[in-house]
Amino acid sequence: MDSSKGNAAISDALVLFGVTGDLAHKKIFPALYAMAKRGALKVPVVGVASSKWSLAKLRRHATDSIRQAGKIDDRDALEQLLSRLQYVSGNYKDPGTFRALKKALGGAARPAHYLAIPPALFGTVIDGLGAAGLAENGRLIVEKPFGRDLASARKLNRIAHSVFAEDAIFRIDHFLGKEAIMNILYFRFANSFLEPIWNRNYVASVQITLSENFGVESRGAFYETAGCMRDVIQNHLFQIVALLAMEPPSYRGFGAVHGETADVLRAMCPLKPEDVVRGQYAGYRKEEGVARDSDVETFCALRLCIDSWRWAGVPWYLRSGKCLAESAAEVLVQLKPPPQRLFEDSAPMTHRANYLRFRLSPNSAVALAARVKRVGIDFLGDQRELYLLDQQPDELSPYERLLGDAMSGNDALFTTQDGVEAAWAAIDPVLSQHRRVAPYKRGSWGPKEADALIAADGFWCNPES
């Protein structure tokens, strides 16, 4: 597939706004180290932040980040990364900060600007880059969430487009960089046996679970501004839905893929309060930075309908949450039972009918479940899973892959403006119009109301360790 944008020259510098922050420490520096180990990091890396740090402190910070993410097993690669680091300290509202950045970039003509900063600062930095002449031939890499509702997403797009062309904007959702997510697209369209049954005639329902067994930890203040719907559902889970539900692309290019996934998001029926269950784990209101009367959801389950020829009438059940029983991500495509019940043990209410299961994390697998007869004279059987794919070694981490792709102009794994706005449009009605959160115990699978939501179509399939 063709996967490059029109602005396809490789970036000759990487600028990291928010270089002293949490995202850079946890994800970006380890990804840069991995790129250096592969010989893929060949450009200067200029960090920008308001902290009054020295370059030596930034290098120690980067080394600590890499050590915490895993062992340092290539000293030459580490030294190469550290030698490429530069640092600019300054206020993002101060034009002098961008003049200092321009000086630090030297002769770089095609910098990639990564905004690893709070979304409230996106507009300030984008305007500063434009005013300083740092946007021409450059790229903009933006972390999700891209807006916090439809109106703010549109406003942010207008700001970005006032300085950068659309083919120079790369909206990162790190979930799309995971090997298991990419395999959904490949598995669907590299195999012919799925297409005849991949529709409302044979699929009874689809459920997607993204669960975490830990709480908000030190991110309570952030979570109070976001909640599970904004933090996970609108981006991660909707992108999975789009890959599962999209029509075959009309040509071999990721532009066609982006068009089809955006069509799925546009076909989502706007959610109603009765389609959504919001939960909050016990003790959340005692977390640092959380309001004592908070109504922010740490769990969300919803019933989604896609108004298309292929999926009309098929319910999609999505859920995600913190402090749940397991940390896992999984898709279960539930097929309809055979039209005639020939055997006693094939009753749909007794056993789950055939299904296809995509295990996305912590390990990846694709499994097809079918019933097979037990040995003996009785016609009794068991459901068995056939594993079609298991974890593969030497996978690139999502940030390593996405950083490299953005700097190369490869837009295959990035979301588009159309897709972002369509996703917000589907969820916008329930961001403010919803029922209060229901409490749930830590280590459970969420509030009992989530079980009632799916009851008409069966029950949740809880991922196992």
User: DSSP of 289-300, one letter per residue?
Assistant: T--TT----SEE
Indicate whether 462 belongs to any domain. no
Q: Is 174 a catalytic residue?
A: no
Domain check: are 154 and 202 in the same one?
no
Indicate whether 107 belongs to any domain. yes
Domain check: are 144 and 28 in the same one?
yes
Domain check: are 343 and 428 in the same one?
yes
Indicate whether 313 belongs to any domain. yes
Domain check: are 206 and 331 in the same one?
yes
Token pair listed for 258? 């982006």
**Given the residues 25, 113, 236, 434, the one annotated as active site:** 236
pLDDT tens for the chain, 465 residues long, are: 544 444 468 999 999 999 999 899 999 999 999 999 999 999 999 999 999 999 999 999 999 999 998 889 999 999 999 999 999 999 999 999 999 999 999 989 999 999 999 888 999 999 999 999 999 999 999 987 788 899 999 999 999 999 999 999 999 887 777 888 888 888 999 999 999 999 999 999 999 999 999 999 888 888 998 899 999 999 899 999 999 999 998 877 777 888 899 999 999 999 999 999 999 999 999 999 999 999 999 999 999 999 999 999 999 999 999 999 999 999 999 999 888 777 777 655 455 788 999 998 888 889 998 888 788 878 777 788 888 766 666 567 888 888 899 998 888 888 888 889 999 999 999 998 999 999 999 999 999 999 999 999 989 999 975
Domain check: are 360 and 387 in the same one?
yes
Rounded distance between C-alpha atoms, residue 251 and residue 25, angstroms: 40
Domain check: are 348 and 233 in the same one?
yes
Domain check: are 204 and 303 in the same one?
yes
* Sheet with 169-172, edge to edge strand ranges: 85-89, 45-49, 13-17, 111-115, 139-143, 169-172
Range of the domain at 208: 176-457
Residue ending a domain, among 143, 172, 201, is 172
Indicate whether 157 belongs to any domain. yes
Q: Please check whether residue 139 is in contact with residue 7, taking contact to mean a CB–CB distance below 8 angstroms.
A: yes
Rounded distance between C-alpha atoms, residue 400 and residue 177, angstroms: 9
Indicate whether 80 belongs to any domain. yes
Phi and psi angles of residue 150, each rounded to the nearest 5 degrees, phi first: -65, -45
How many secondary structure helices (H) and strands (E) does the chain include? 14, 15
Phi and psi angles of residue 427, each rounded to the nearest 5 degrees, phi first: -100, -15
Domain check: are 226 and 252 in the same one?
yes
Domain check: are 51 and 77 in the same one?
yes
Residue ending a domain, among 125, 143, 172, is 172
Domain check: are 157 and 185 in the same one?
no
Residue ending a domain, among 172, 191, 223, is 172
Domain check: are 75 and 181 in the same one?
no
Rounded distance between C-alpha atoms, residue 313 and residue 311, angstroms: 6
CATH of the domain at 92: 3.40.50.720
Indicate whether 294 belongs to any domain. yes
Q: Which residues in 308-442 belong to E strands, given as ranges?
A: 316-321, 328-335, 355-361, 365-373, 381-389, 438-440
Indicate whether 463 belongs to any domain. no
Per the structure, how many domains does the chain have? 2
Indicate whether 7 belongs to any domain. no
Q: Which residues in 162-235 belong to E strands, given as ranges?
A: 169-172, 203-211
Q: b or e along 293-308 (b: 16 or more beta carbons within 10 Å of the residue's beta carbon)?
A: ebebbbbbbbbbbbeb
Domain check: are 396 and 276 in the same one?
yes
Q: Please check whether residue 443 is in contact with residue 281, taking contact to mean a CB–CB distance below 8 angstroms.
A: no
Torsion angle, CA of 122/124/126/129, rounded to 10 degrees? -140
CATH of the domain at 440: 3.30.360.10
